[in-house]
């Protein structure tokens, strides 16, 4: 190809920009409940997220990437002009990244999945043809945006109700918190280890059977629980602090649990949403290498690394803006409420990553927070903020699509030298 190095350079740059946008905007969904419940400071949240977002993106980010990379567009429509897909994927990356930059500056929590899918559909429908879009596949992805908040909302509701029944609603909540919180910590360690082993590590040469993976995951859960028990025993309990709020010391124990669920949500988010940045990059690299539109292509390690580094950079520079919005404005969060929301959201994202469905983490977390709020009564929610967040979701799809169309024709005008099409 005439402009191969240009294509690769732009793919790397735009992919890094897009990953930066994911870190700046979407990582709030992993950390906001921890910050909002005061279990972690913003600085601590950024440090925790940097480690676990990177690990999730690099170790478990390969499974969902194939869904974004192929399936939305009918490759047979452009077999004679593979450059069109390069322009389109570059345009989609740049469009989604620009929209995320705008949203992050405003502190709006928008969906990166919405952004990239809307951008890909936009350029394909206008730049290639409406028939080139697999609308059934898009419909499946869109349905997952409804299913994911409903699923996480149900999970959060029942998790929080279990906390109420086992701990908060008992005659001795402090004793029961010490008794049951380690089992919640085990669940976090088990879920994360299982998804990592089942879906994430095959590309680095570790391919265990399902039974072996379950055994290792159980061991990981036990180790995580052990660490949690040690941390809980080190908490300084002051009965006088319960005079104003009965659960002050109990919430300290849940604060420890929030650190584990924050790690879990960051890992799960990195594994799922890195696809939004590296999927189009993988498609471009494949076309440049082979000169043809391939239905399947190997995901190079450097592409995963690019996505992981970009997410961490975005988190460190702009992440605090959206964390502040989501963590403090939807509902009043305590560590026990935040834990229920985060574990439910992490579990939903882990399921999605394992099955290859590119869900929106934003939808998932908002659904989980709503589930916790409903468990406490609808008055506990700031419905105005929830409405504004949902409006930002609606705007994101057309914004990504319109920007992608503009960038597609700009790139085509600069690079395309073939026959008129």
Q: Which of 77-91, 239-253, 375-389 has the lowest mean pLDDT?
A: 375-389
Average pLDDT of span 62-89: 70
Residues of the chain above pLDDT 90, percent: 18
Q: What's the confidence (pLDDT) of residue 101?
A: 93
Give the C-alpha distances (Å, rounded to integers) separating 182 from 222, 257, 343: 9, 8, 14
Kindly state whether residue 188 falls inside one of the protein's structural domains: yes
Q: Which residue has the higher pLDDT, 405 or 85?
A: 405
Identify whether 396 is part of a domain: yes
For the chain, how many structural domains are there in total? 1
Strongest mean pLDDT among 92-96, 341-345, 368-372: 92-96
Measured CA angle at 268 (ends 320, 111), to 5 deg: 55
**Residues linked to residue 331 through DSSP beta bridges, in sequence order:** 381
* Residues spanned by the domain of 203: 4-415
Q: Copy the structure tokens of residue 357.
A: 């469905």
Report pLDDT for 200.
53
The predicted-structure confidence for 139-150, as pLDDT tens digits, reads as follows: 877 777 778 888
- Give the C-alpha separation, 10 to 200, whole Å: 27
Instruction: Tell me which of 70 and 394 has the higher pLDDT.
Output: 394
**Would you state the pLDDT for residue 405?**
94
Per-residue pLDDT tens digits for 269-316:
787 777 788 888 888 888 888 777 665 555 677 888 888 889 888 988
* Residue scoring higher pLDDT (273 or 65): 273
- Please give the residue that has the higher pLDDT: either 405 or 348: 405
Checking if the pLDDT of 202 tops 90, the result is no
pLDDT, residue 294, reads: 61
Nearest to 191 by CA among 214, 207, 208: 214
> What mean pLDDT do residues 261-265 have?
79
Give pLDDT, residue 374: 80
What pLDDT, on a 0 to 100 scale, did the predictor assign at position 65? 54
pLDDT of residue 402: 94
- Whether residue 80 lies inside any domain: the answer is yes
| pLDDT tens profile 18-42 | 999 998 888 776 777 788 778 888 7
DSSP 8-state assignment for residue 333: -
Taking the alpha carbons of 150, 322, 16, 206 in that order, is the dihedral positive or negative?
A: negative
**420 belongs to a structural domain:** no
Give pLDDT, residue 389: 77
CB 400 within 8 A of CB 115: yes
pLDDT over 60 at 332, yes or no: yes
pLDDT per position as a tens digit, 218-246: 999 999 999 999 989 888 888 888 777 77
Q: How far apart are CA 400 and CA 384, in angstroms?
A: 25
Decide if 421 is inside a domain.
no
User: If DSSP codes are grouped into helix, strand and coil, which group holds residue 53?
Assistant: helix
Instruction: Identify whether 115 is part of a domain.
Output: yes
What's the predicted TM-score (pTM) here? Answer: 0.81
**Could you tell me if residue 71 is inside a domain?**
yes
Among 95-109, 169-183, 230-244, 327-341, which is the least confidently predicted range?
327-341
> Which residue shows structure tokens 């929106």?
360
Between these two residues, 409 and 136, which has the higher pLDDT value? 409
The answer to the question of residue 9 being in a domain is yes
165-196 burial code (b ≥16 CB/10 A, e <16): ebbbeeeebbebbbebbbebbbbbbbbbbbbb
């Amino acid at each position: 190809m005439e402009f191969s190095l240009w294509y690769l350079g732009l793919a790397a740059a735009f992919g890094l920009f897009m990953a930066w946008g994911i870190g700046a905007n979407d990582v709030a969904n992993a950390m906001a409940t921890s910050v909002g419940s005061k279990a972690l400071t913003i600085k601590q949240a950024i440090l925790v997220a940097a480690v676990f977002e990177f690990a999730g993106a690099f170790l478990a980010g390969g499974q969902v990437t194939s869904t974004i990379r192929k399936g939305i567009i009918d490759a047979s429509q452009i077999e004679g002009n593979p450059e069109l897909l390069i322009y389109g994927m570059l345009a989609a990356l740049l469009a989604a990244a620009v929209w995320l930059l705008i949203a992050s500056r405003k502190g709006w929590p928008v969906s990166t999945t919405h952004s990239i899918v809307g951008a890909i559909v936009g350029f394909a429908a206008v730049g290639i043809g409406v028939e080139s879009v697999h609308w059934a596949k898009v419909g499946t992805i869109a349905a997952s945006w409804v299913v994911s908040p409903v699923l996480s909302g149900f999970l959060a509701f029942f998790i929080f109700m279990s906390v109420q029944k086992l701990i908060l609603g008992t005659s001795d909540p402090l004793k029961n918190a010490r008794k049951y919180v380690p089992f919640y910590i085990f669940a976090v360690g088990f879920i994360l280890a299982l998804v990592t082993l089942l879906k994430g590590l095959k590309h680095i040469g570790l391919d265990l059977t399902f039974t072996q993976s379950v055994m290792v995951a159980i061991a990981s859960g036990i180790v995580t629980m052990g660490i949690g028990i040690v941390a809980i025993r080190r908490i300084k309990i002051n009965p006088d602090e319960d005079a104003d709020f009965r659960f002050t010391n109990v919430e300290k124990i849940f604060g420890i649990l929030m650190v584990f669920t924050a790690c879990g949500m960051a890992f799960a988010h990195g594994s799922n949403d890195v696809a939004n940045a590296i999927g189009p990059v993988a498609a471009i690299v494949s076309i440049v290498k082979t000169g043809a539109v391939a239905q399947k292509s190997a995901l190079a390690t450097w592409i995963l690394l690019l996505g992981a580094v970009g997410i961490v950079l975005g988190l460190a520079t702009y992440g605090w803006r959206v964390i502040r919005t989501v963590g403090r404005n939807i509902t009043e969060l305590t560590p026990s409420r935040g834990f229920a929301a985060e574990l439910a959201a992490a579990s939903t994202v882990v399921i999605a990553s394992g099955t290859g469905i590119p869900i929106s983490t934003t939808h998932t977390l908002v659904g989980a927070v709503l589930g916790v709020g409903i468990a406490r009564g609808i008055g506990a929610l700031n419905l105005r903020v929830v409405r504004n967040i949902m409006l930002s979701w609606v705007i994101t799809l057309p914004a990504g699509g319109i920007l992608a169309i503009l960038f597609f024709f700009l790139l085509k005008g600069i690079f395309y030298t073939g026959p008129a099409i």
